[in-house]
Chain A
Amino acid sequence: MNSRGLPQSLQTSSLPDVLERVLDKGIILAGDIKVNLVDIELLSLQIRLVICSVDKAREMGMDWWVGHPAFSSRGQAALPATALSRIEERLARLESMQRKVPAEIEEESVCG
Chain B
Amino acid sequence: MTMSETAFYLFCFARSAPLPELRGTGVDGQSPLVVWPFAELAAVLSTVDVADFSGPVAEARMKDLSWLGPRACRHEAVIEEVMDYGPVLPARFGTLFSSLESLEGLLVNHHRAISQFLDQMTGHEEWGVKGVLNREQALPELKSRHQTGGGGHIDLSSLARGTRYLQGRRVRAAAEKELPQWLQATCCRVAEDLRGYASGFSVRKALANGGSGSEVVSDWAFLVPRGVRADFCGRVKRASAELADRGLTFELTGPWPPYSFTPSLPA
Chain A residues at the B interface, C-beta cutoff of 8 Å? 1-2, 4-10, 12-13, 15, 17-38, 40-41, 43-48, 50, 60-62, 64-65, 89-90, 93-94, 97, 108, 110
Complex contacts, A9 vs chain B, CB 8 Å = 76, 80, 253-256
With both chains docked as a complex, state the minimum distance between the C-beta of B144 and any C-beta of chain A, in angstroms: 24
- Given A9-B256, A23-B72, A97-B210, A36:B59 Cβ within 8 A: yes
14 additional contacts (CB under 8 A) given A15-B69, A62-B69: A4-B77, A6-B73, A9-B256, A13-B128, A21-B76, A24-B204, A24-B259, A29-B265, A31-B10, A31-B98, A32-B97, A33-B7, A44-B209, A48-B209
Closest to B266 in A: A28
Given the complex, which residues of B lie within 8 Å of A29, measured CB to CB? 10, 89, 91-92, 95, 106, 262, 265
Cβ contact of A62, chosen from B65, B91, B128, B266, cutoff 8 A: B65
Main secondary structure of the interface of B (DSSP, over half): mixed
Q: A1 to chain B: which residues have CB within 8 Å? A: 84
**In the complex, B197 has a CB within 8 A of chain A:** no
Q: How long is the Cα–Cα vector from A12 to B70 in the complex, in angstroms?
A: 17
Q: In the complex, what distance in Å separates the CA atom of A11 from the CA atom of B102?
A: 36
Cβ contact within 8 Å between B207 and A35: no
How close is A69's CB to chain B, nearest CB, in angstroms?
A: 14
With contacts A28-B266, A35-B94, A40-B207 taken as known, whether A19 is within 8 angstroms of B212 at the C-beta atoms is: no
Q: Complex formed: what's the CA distance from A65 to B94 in Å? A: 22
Using Cβ atoms and an 8 Å threshold, which residues of chain A touch B73? 6-7, 10, 15, 18, 65
Residue positions of B touching A, CB distance < 8 A: 1, 7-8, 10, 23-24, 50, 53-54, 58-59, 62-66, 68-70, 72-73, 75-77, 80, 84, 89-98, 102-103, 106, 128, 204-205, 207-214, 252-257, 259-260, 262-267
Q: Is the CB of A7 within 8 A of B80?
A: yes
Does A61 contact B53, Cβ atoms closer than 8 Å?
no
- A18, B72: Cβ atoms under 8 Å? yes
The count of A-to-B residue pairs whose CB atoms sit within 8 angstroms is 163
Distance between Cα atoms of A30 and B10 in the complex (Å): 10
Nearest-neighbor residue (CB-CB) of A50 within chain B: B65
Q: Give the residue name and chain of the B residue nearest to A56 (CB).
A: B65
Q: How far is the CB of A33 from chain B (nearest CB, A)?
A: 4
- Shortest CB-to-CB span from B133 to chain A, Å, is 14
Contact between A110 and B63, CB atoms less than 8 A apart: yes
